[in-house]
Amino acid sequence: MEPLDTRGLTALRAVAETGSVAAAAAQLQWSQPTVNHHLRNLERALGATLLDRTPRGSQPTTVGSLVVTRAVEILGLCQRLGAEVALWRESQAVPVRIGAVPTVGARVIPRLHDQLQVRPRWQTRDEAVAGDRTDILTAALDVTMDEHAKLVSRLESGDLDLALLVSTDLDRTWIPATLNAAHLYSERLFLCVPKSIGEISVDDHGRPDLTALVSQTWAFSIDPGDAIDEVVRSFCLSAGFEPRVGMRMDDYAAINRMISAGLAVAMIPESSLSTDPDITVIPMPLSDCRRDVLLVSREARPQVRVRHDPIVDAHISAIAEVVADVRTVTRQWR
């Protein structure tokens, strides 16, 4: 097979996105003959027809759809390669791709960034042994904030190196066997309700009487598998009712405003509590529920390496440095 030209992949992706060669040409700021030229070269190299062309536009064939999927991956890798080389050239920094659920990321990532700035630059093990001082490296964070399911998927696909996720005692099964989860610290959960509801009784074990909230509207996460939501649902079902979900959002500042206005009740982690006097805050027993913050990574697999790969070595070293600094900055909350 002929070597593939990424311009053909770029043209095919643009046609798939826009629905026609003319629209693809406008998007890419190429001429239509140029787009057609690269499409023909790609079809010749692969030995397959990739587009169904009609007077109303062009759509990928069945095999064309497969090529589009791979084209998105390949072009994404090319873009990332360019960014990584530029980062290396400008500051000899090795990017580490870390994801986080927003509430944990907002708390940990800024401190992690500061910690990395004061860490001495380092060498890969082989360079240090050889006394090579030409490449003194540092790690750079490439941060993604997203919901659990998407972060787990990106970890499994190799699109992320690490992720800061949360779980509860009731919610451990979401971690696939291909991933490793290390506990960093635990946060207490607090039941937050409008002051206007009045006093909520608490039993001898510190558990609030949730039956007082049967008619209230709960604020749940956008993520349908959110760990805290599962805790709430479990406690409400034990009290004899299904919680009535009236809003879904992941911005705890906004949720606190809704509670203060009397529009919702919610379970809030300690790091996101409000000091609003119109909110009653009731601590939940740690023995019953808490939010565990986890550092999740892909399972390390033994690799047979036939040659020294300095890029792989640098990436492994950078990930190790970030892991060490995550543990350092989260130690204060243990």
Give 276-312 as a DSSP string.
-TTEEEEEPPTTT-EEEEEEEEEPP-----SS--HHH
pLDDT at 17 over 70: yes
Q: How far apart are CA 280 and CA 87, in angstroms?
A: 48
Distances (CA, A) of 59 to 11, 27, 36, 117, 316: 12, 16, 14, 49, 41
Q: What is the pLDDT of residue 135?
A: 53
Quick: pLDDT tens for 127-150: 444 444 445 677 888 899 998 888
Residue 233 has pLDDT above 80, yes or no: yes
Write down the pLDDT at residue 130: 43
Residues of the chain above pLDDT 90, percent: 53
Under the banding of pLDDT at 50, 70 and 90, the label for residue 61 is very high
Domain annotation for the chain: domains and CATH numbers: 6-85 (1.10.10.10), 91-183+293-333 (3.40.190.10), 188-290 (3.40.190.10)
Confidence at 6, pLDDT banded by 50, 70, 90: very high
pLDDT at 133: 45
- Distant-in-sequence, close-in-space partners of 219: CB < 8 Å, separation ≥ 6: 245, 246, 247, 248, 249, 255, 258, 259, 264, 265, 266
Please tell me which residue, 311 or 155, carries the higher pLDDT value.
155
pLDDT in tens, 79-107: 877 776 766 666 667 889 999 998 899 99
pLDDT in tens, 205-225: 888 999 999 999 999 988 777
For residues 127 and 263, the model is more confident at: 263
What integer is the mean pLDDT of 43-62? 91
Question: For residues 67 and 60, is the Cβ–Cβ distance under 8 A?
Answer: yes
> Is the distance from CB of 22 to CB of 15 less than 8 angstroms?
no
Q: What's the rounded Cα separation, in Å, for the pair 241 and 217?
A: 13
Strand 217-220 versus strand 244-248 pairing type: parallel
Greater confidence (247 vs 81) lies with: 247
Range with lowest mean pLDDT among 38-52, 70-84, 208-222: 70-84
pLDDT top residue among 326 and 224 = 326
Q: Give the pLDDT confidence score for residue 228 in this predicted structure.
A: 85
| CB-CB neighbours of 224 under 10 Å | 11
Give the count of alpha carbons within 13 A of 275, CB side only: 0
Residue 37 pLDDT more than 90? yes
* Residue 238 phi, psi dihedral angles, 5° rounding: -65, -30
pLDDT tier, 300 (very low <50, low <70, confident <90, very high otherwise): low
Of the candidates 324, 331, 334, 332, the one whose C-alpha atom is nearest the C-alpha of residue 96 is: 324
Residue 173 has what pLDDT? Answer: 52
pLDDT per residue over 163-211, tens digit each? 999 887 555 556 787 889 999 999 889 999 999 999 999 998 888 999 9
